[in-house]
Amino acid sequence: MGFNHHIIRTYCFNHQISVSEFAKLVGKSKTHIFNIIWGKSKTSDKLALKIEEVTNGEIKASELTKSKYRGINKWDI
């Protein structure tokens, strides 16, 4: 099976951290993050904003969710 080029997987590879470590950073289980990577789970707006915060904007919330929100910050959710 080939490498999945999901943005979270790519971020982990580029920063030399495991998906498990990434999951801890965003406060989710590794299973949940893997389900997002493999397309089995969707990313909530709240989690997408948390990921944007943890990655210092390298991963944008808008890249992780199909929500049409604009200009929403973490205090609005």
CA distances from 42 to 4, 35, 55 (A): 16, 8, 19
Identity at 34, one-letter amino acid code: F
Domains of the chain: 7-76 (1.10.260)
Is the whole-model pTM more than 0.85? Answer: no
What length is written for the chain? 77
CA distances from 60 to 1, 16, 20, 64 (A): 27, 19, 20, 7
Q: pLDDT of 17-38, one tens digit each?
A: 999 999 999 999 999 999 999 9
- Rounded average pLDDT over 73-77: 51
